[in-house]
A and B are shown apart, each in its own frame.
Chain A
Amino acid sequence: MKNYQSWGRFPRIDNDKQDVYHVYPDSFSFPDFESDAENPPSFLAYAQGRSYGDVCQNQDGILLDTQHLDHFIQYDRENGILRCEAGVTFENILQLIVPHGWFLPVTPGTKYISVGGAIANDVHGKNHHKAGTFGKYVLQFELLRSNGERLICSPDENTDYFNATIGGLGLTGLINWVEFSLKKIPGHKIEQETIRFNNLKEFYTLSDESDKDWEYTVAWIDCLASGDELGRGLFMRGNHCAATSKSRKKYKSKTSRLSVPFDAPGFLLNKYTVTAFNQLYFKRPVKQIQQVDFDPFFYPLDSISNWNRLYGRKGFMQYQCVIPKEHREAAMQEMLTVIAESGQASFLSVLKEFGDIKSPGLLSFPRAGITLALDFPNRGKKTLTLLESLDVITLKYSGAVYPAKDARMSPATFEKYYPNWKEFEAFIDPHFSSGFKQRVKPSPDNSPNT
């Protein structure tokens, strides 16, 4: 039933060439590598498959499916500390903790991710400017190395492995369990304000003034708008709040009611349909301040399961970059112009300002500045060329691209985006690999040139 593709479904995996082992609590052990020294297999953990590109793939290797690592271990309700196995999802956690007045310290735009994946990609959310990344809230975890060693990693113990594993793209070994701290909330509601802005300049003003008093900020932009309207969109900001008496009701987890049962035809999302969507979405009447459940605020797309199928069989690519604050005006102007001119449609375009809270992760993506995330239907070479031209701009302004979303960056650009790679390399488990790693850092004996 499980297909083991990535969320973007590009590159497509041949499931016959990717073996799968199921991992059960405490009973998993790696094979004896000595006996098969000629051609040792490589491993990679796979949980929810919500990474967009090849960081969750391991063609010609073995995936360790962590769906059975789904047990909670310990929950300190008074102090908000939770320990659970790595395959537990954010959805499972919210169901448990929200009724007790706790929340995830950091959450990305979907709750269908595992805790292990949250660490491996050091995920961020709408509160990055206030809270930093998920890795900042990790108290400790257990890392199983392929030589059988179990390392307890925390800011004080095996610190180097701790730092390497946070944002380490699953390459340092298998995360067995995780302990992290929760965040106190007054209730399960969000006070949300939506404000329309007509261009990038207005966005910066809004973003700068919201940073202090609003815990969550994010903007949707119409990336097909150009000229005076370049970068227009809707700015959303929110804070946790208690339910007012009128709307007071017990939190009930929302599960997807709609789903995309099959691949939509590839032409569904084209320049014209997306232009029309963006027009309507931008012009939609916005209620300025309203109280909403946290589900639609944080996870609007989770209400449609398999929304990735809207992009058709060929899948899609996402481009998410971060640009240092001092270059934000110039870089965004250039990027959005290139995208609008290309006419390649993206209806999910998100703009957000990151803060300067540093993550312990060596290879972590978020850094102070502005981040732009866009979806592009896969149109082959045309799309790849566009993303390469975006890379030129990101590089020019000393930015970086997010590996969790990537399926195509070149080894040379990766090295420039992540100068810490050299330091990180020492912590990679010799028997772990991924599609991403093979692409950006092929080991010398596998490279086609030798």
Chain B
Amino acid sequence: MSNILILGATSAIAKHTTRLFAADEHHLYLVARNEDKLKSMQQDMRVRGATDAHYESLNLADESLHEDLIKRATEKMGSIDTVLIAYGTLGNQKQCEESYANTLKELQLNSLSVISLLTILANQFEEQKSGTIAVISSPSGDRGRQSNYIYGTAKGALTIFMQGLRNRLAKSKVHVLTIKPGFVDTPMTKEFKKSLLWVSPEVISKGIYTAIRKKREVVYLPFFWRYIMFIIKSVPEKIFKHLSL
């Protein structure tokens, strides 16, 4: 049994991943904004086998709350062995183009607030010399495209930050996992027209669960996104800038 902290627990991907943890009888600490959803999730996790499940309703975008949050979670469970950071917004690219304030808001939530949490967690994990830090980033961070480069900027920064962190924490035996899910059919993407490339959050959650257990470094989910992104990354900029992606 290990102690797992899930930030952004009510997101579709996090919820299904947490269910897999619960079935393995782990101890859970769930954090998200919506209290109703957290409450039903807590009951659900207990039924599914979690040794125990606590929850806390909190706005993770507010960085001033982070330090106390990590302290409370650590005290409640005794330690934090694994953390999964799974919150974020897709944002509105057009609105960001019109105003820096909107862009800042997106970067703040998807990138800076996560970096704030990771700074606190990294120090704690470095000291305990064990554990897993898993963060949901995105293939959008692999290359800037006109359709969503603000989101891409935030996730790209996160990916680089995680890369550095992995390098730093390797000697402390801390596992740092970057997760890059492709198109996932969740409430966050309900406005999109779906094609064959779309998968359910359950599929992604199984991939995350396996990646944590097998101590992978960077995973694309499903796996084929690694190849799609390889191709996208290899197009010369001279050509790429004319594509409508």
A74 within 8 Å of B by Cβ? yes
Q: Which of A1, A71, A74, A84 contacts B41 (CB 8 A)?
A: A71
Taking CB atoms and an 8 Å cut-off, the chain A residues in 76-90 that contact chain B are 84-85
Docked-complex contact A25 and B48, CB < 8 angstroms: no
A16 at the interface (CB under 8 A from B): no
B40, B185, B187, B194: the one contacting A25 at CB < 8 Å is B40
Q: Contact check, A71 vs B40: say whether CB atoms are below 8 A apart.
A: yes
Q: Inside 8 A of A26's CB, which chain B residues have their CB?
A: 36, 39-40
CB atoms of A25 and B36 under 8 A apart: yes
Could you tell me if B185 and A73 are in contact, using CB atoms closer than 8 angstroms?
no
Choice from B34, B43, B185, B198 contacting A71 with Cβ under 8 Å: B43
Complex-state Cα separation, A427 to B135, whole angstroms: 50
B43 and A1: CB pair below 8 A? Answer: no
- Using an 8 Å CB-CB cutoff, how does the interface string of B46-70 with A read, 1 for contact, 0 for none? 0110000000000000000000000
A24 at the A/B interface (Cβ < 8 Å)?
Answer: yes
Across the interface, do A96 and B43 meet the contact criterion of CB distance under 8 Å?
A: no
Q: Does B24 contact A (CB under 8 A)?
A: no
B34 neighbours in A (Cβ, 8 Å): 27
Contact with B along A4-47 (1 / 0, CB 8 A): 00000000000000000010111100000000000000000000
Q: Is B37 part of the contact surface with A, judged by Cβ < 8 Å?
A: yes
Contact call B194/A72, Cβ cutoff below 8 A? no
Contacts of A22 in B (CB 8 A): 187, 190
Chain A residues bordering chain B, tally (CB within 8 A): 14
A1 to B198 Cα, complex, angstroms: 8
Q: Which residue of B lies closest to A75 (CB)?
A: B47
The A-B contact count (CB < 8 A) is 35
**Interface size of B as a range:** 10 to 19
Contact of B48 among A1, A27, A72, A85 (CB under 8 A): A72
Q: State A27–B10 Cα separation when bound (angstroms).
A: 14
B47 touches A25 (CB 8 A): no
A85 to B190 CA separation, bound complex (whole angstroms): 22
Per the 8 Å Cβ criterion, residues 14-49 of B in contact with A are 34, 36-37, 39-41, 43-44, 47-48
Give Cα A75–Cα B41 distance, bound, in whole angstroms: 14
Given contacts A25-B37, A71-B41, A73-B40, contact A1 B47 (CB under 8 A): no
**Beta-carbon contact of B198 and A72 below 8 Å:** no
A1 — which chain B residues lie within 8 A by C-beta? 185, 194, 198
Q: In the complex, A55→B76 CA distance in Å?
A: 48
A50 to B34, CA, bound (A): 31
The interface bits of chain A over 407-445 (1 if a CB of B lies within 8 angstroms of the residue's CB, else 0) are 000000000000000000000000000000000000000
Report the minimum CB–CB distance from A299 to chain B (whole Å): 19
- With beta carbons under 8 angstroms apart, the residue of B36, B43, B44, B187 that contacts A27 is B36
**Shortest distance between the CB of B211 and any CB in chain A (Å):** 20
Task: Collect the chain A residues with CB atoms within 8 Å of residue B48's CB.
Answer: 72, 96
A residues within 8 A CB of B198?
A: 1
Task: Report the separation of the CA atoms of residues A85 and B36 in the bound assembly, to the nearest whole angstrom.
Answer: 14
Closest approach, in angstroms, between the C-beta of B194 and any C-beta of chain A? Answer: 4
How many Å from the CB of A77 to the closest CB on chain B?
A: 9
CA distance A126 to B185 in the complex (A): 36
Q: Which residues of B contact A74 (CB under 8 A)?
A: 43, 47
Interchain CA distance A74-B34 in the complex, whole Å: 21
Q: How far is the CB of B19 from chain A (nearest CB, A)?
A: 9
A420 to B187, CA, bound (A): 41
- Bound together, the chains give a CA A96 to CA B34 distance in angstroms of 26
Q: Which residue of A lies closest to B12 (CB)?
A: A68
Chain B contacts of A96 at CB under 8 A?
47-48
Please determine whether A24 and B37 come into contact, CB atoms closer than 8 angstroms. yes
The answer to whether B44 and A72 touch across the interface, beta carbons within 8 angstroms, is: yes
How far is B47's CA from A73's CA once the two chains are assembled, in angstroms? 7
Contacts of B37 in A (CB 8 A): 24-25, 27
**A73 touching B187, Cβ below 8 Å:** no
Q: Which of B180-197 contact A (CB under 8 A)?
A: 185, 187, 190, 194
A397 to B47, CA, bound (A): 48
Among B36, B39, B40, B44, which residue has the most Cβ atoms of chain A within 10 A? B40
- CB neighbours (8 Å) of B43 from chain A are 71-74
Q: Are A71 and B44 in contact (CB under 8 A)?
A: yes
Complex CA distance for A72 and B19, rounded to whole angstroms: 11
B71: shortest Cβ distance to chain A, in Å? 29
**Per-residue CB proximity of B198-209 to A under 8 Å, as 1/0?**
100000000000
Q: How far is the CA of A72 from the CA of B43 in the complex (A)?
A: 7
> How distant is A448 from chain B, measured CB to nearest CB, in Å?
36
Are the C-beta atoms of B185 and A85 separated by less than 8 Å? no
* Alpha-carbon distance between A1 and B44 when the two chains are bound, in angstroms: 26
Please measure, in the bound complex, the distance between the C-alpha atom of A73 and the C-alpha atom of B43, giving whole angstroms: 5
Within the assembled complex, what's the spacing in Å between the Cα atoms of A65 and B76? 36
The 8 closest A-B pairs by CB, nearest first: A72-B47, A71-B44, A1-B194, A25-B40, A75-B47, A26-B36, A71-B40, A72-B44
Add 13 more A-B contacts to A71-B44, A73-B44, A84-B47 (CB < 8 A): A1-B185, A1-B198, A25-B37, A25-B40, A26-B40, A27-B36, A71-B40, A71-B41, A72-B48, A74-B47, A75-B47, A96-B47, A96-B48
Between-chain CB contacts (< 8 Å), 25 pairs: A1-B198, A22-B187, A22-B190, A24-B36, A24-B37, A25-B36, A25-B37, A26-B36, A26-B39, A26-B40, A27-B34, A27-B36, A71-B41, A71-B43, A72-B44, A72-B47, A73-B40, A73-B47, A74-B43, A74-B47, A75-B47, A84-B47, A85-B40, A96-B47, A96-B48
Which B positions have Cβ atoms within 8 angstroms of A?
Answer: 34, 36-37, 39-41, 43-44, 47-48, 185, 187, 190, 194, 198
